[in-house]
Structure 1
Amino acid sequence: MTRIDRARDLLETAVAGKETADVRTLVLLARAWFLYAENRTKTEEARLAAYEKGRAAAERAIARSPDDPEAHLWYAINLGSWAQVKGLFRSLITLGTIRREVDTVLRLDPNNVEANIMAGSLQREIPAIMGGDKEKAEEYFKTAKRLAPHLSGARIELAKLYIKQGRIAEARQELQGVIDEPAPTDRSRWELVEVPRARTMLHSLDDLN
């Protein structure tokens, strides 16, 4: 059993059968289910179920504390991840819910790094006819970079935007910045996920200008 499994089980025990469960515990549980979905599940069915449990925990936290930005953030993250797996990310109903939750986080906490990254990703991926705006996406990603300069995730997402726009030199610069990062905020994720992803993306640009 990994630390993710243990944390999830302990948090589930802490909130089980408690209508007045602690908001912070519920938020941590929503995050734990997301991490479990991302790192521990073996099948699509199990992954979807984990995202749903994470969303349910976040929903309980929102009910207890409607103005808690982290509760809204983890609701949006779990719902967005679930929708991507299901192929419903551009569903108007699902998309409307995700955008509302992200907007709520930014209203409550404009300096929330993850919410800025998620807002940027939404603006990048949504077609313009549905409200997507690549200029706004760039603003959100750059805000996240300014708030957390050693968090590589924002640079990778910004590089994806630049690739979509044909700004290959700028994309390369962001990706190389991920690889050369001297003090990553989350070293294990940087080593295991973000550096390999940046290298793969750089390699894919070899045939482009």
Structure 2
Amino acid sequence: MPKLLRTLLFFSCVFLLGVWIVSANEVSDVVQEANALLATKEVPNIERAIEVLEESLYETGDDGDVLWSLAKAYLYLGDRSEDNKLKIYEQGKEYADQAITVAPDNPHAHYWLGTLIGRIGQTKGILNSLFMIKPLQEAMERVLEIDEEYADAYYVLSRLYDEAPGWPISIGNRNKALEMIEIALELDPDNPEFKVQIAKVLLSYRRKDEALEILMEAYESPEMEIDEILRADADELLAKLK
């Protein structure tokens, strides 16, 4: 190969690598910005996060992190919407499916797919919820195959075992619900959502004093002031414990 051609090829590769690095950094910044907006749990910020992520998707093409972040954003939006919940969740699921296609070993993609499957089932009604249990369980188990320390997957499995009907109808199992949420709390001991869940499970065992103690710990988290849904869930449980 002539020296001039080798030189041109070398600089072309360097240029393309530089473009790829800049693009990857830009995507990372977008995902970080979007997730900071989502952390506020406020609808205008959730909508802004969706806008930012969808603009990035249009400009840079499919990216696993952008796609699962969109799935997460649509779940957050659906949770806080009175109308069109099902449509919103289904849009989120489409993004989660795309994320898995692009990045099949990304645990976040499988996590948000599973969570959206659960929401769609709940929105459609009890019968559909039962049909969604197995796919949701499989999605969370896939998350844990990829990352065995993914605390939120244990939390979702705890809720699934806690809320699903028991055998022979479904997989409901109080002991497994407790086991899963205990693992989640070992991995993330300060998470107020996990504390609310373990308090629910402890109440089902009639361990009211323990449930109340850990629920009051959850109220100390700043997250309780941000997340109205979590706060309402905790308030409902507190009323049962008093």
TM-score interval w.r.t. the shorter chain? Answer: 0.7 to 0.9
Match of 1:86 among 124, 127, 139: 124
Match of 2:102 among 64, 67, 71: 64
The answer as to 2:76 corresponding to 1:25 is no
Once residues 200 and 94 of structure 1 are traced to their aligned partners in structure 2, the CA distance between those partners, rounded to angstroms, is: 26
Once residues 97 and 196 of structure 1 are traced to their aligned partners in structure 2, the CA distance between those partners, rounded to angstroms, is: 28
Question: Partner amino acid for 2:75?
Answer: F
Q: Which residue pairs with 1:5 in the alignment? A: 47
1:26 alignment partner, SS class: helix
Query: Structure 1 residues 202 and 15 mapped into 2: Cα distance closer, same or farther (>3 Å)?
Result: same
Q: Which residue pairs with 2:240 in the alignment? A: 204
Match of 1:171 among 211, 217, 231: 211
Deviating 4+ runs (over 3 angstroms) = 88-93, 186-190, 192-197
> Map of 1:187-202 to 2, 5 A cutoff?
188-189=225-226, 192-202=228-238
Contact kept, 8 Å, 1:176 with 1:198, in 2: the verdict is no
TM-score (norm 1): 0.85
Match of 2:158 among 120, 124, 128: 120
> Map of 1:94-173 to 2, 5 A cutoff?
94-129=132-167, 130-173=170-213
Once the two structures are superposed, what CA deviation does each residue of 1:62-117 show, in whole Å capped at 9, x if it has no partner? 01121111000000111111211211476553211111101101111111121110
Contact kept, 8 Å, 1:175 with 1:199, in 2: the verdict is no
State the Cα distance separating 1:180 from its structure 2 match: 3.2
User: Computing the radius of gyration over CA atoms, which structure comes out larger, 1 or 2?
Assistant: 2
Larger proportion of helix: 2
State the Cα distance separating 1:166 from its structure 2 match: 2.2
Larger displacement relative to structure 2 (127-136 or 63-72):
127-136
State the Cα distance separating 1:23 from its structure 2 match: 0.6
The unaligned stretches of length 5 or more in structure 1 are: none
The answer as to 2:53 corresponding to 1:15 is no
Identical-residue share of aligned pairs (%) = 27
Question: Partner amino acid for 1:151?
Answer: N
Q: Which residue pairs with 1:42 in the alignment? A: 82
RMSD: 2.2
TM-score (norm 2): 0.74
Q: Which residue pairs with 2:90 in the alignment? A: 52
Once residues 75 and 127 of structure 2 are traced to their aligned partners in structure 1, the CA distance between those partners, rounded to angstroms, is: 17
Once residues 163 and 196 of structure 1 are traced to their aligned partners in structure 2, the CA distance between those partners, rounded to angstroms, is: 17
Question: Partner amino acid for 1:111?
Answer: E
Contact kept, 8 Å, 1:73 with 1:115, in 2: the verdict is yes
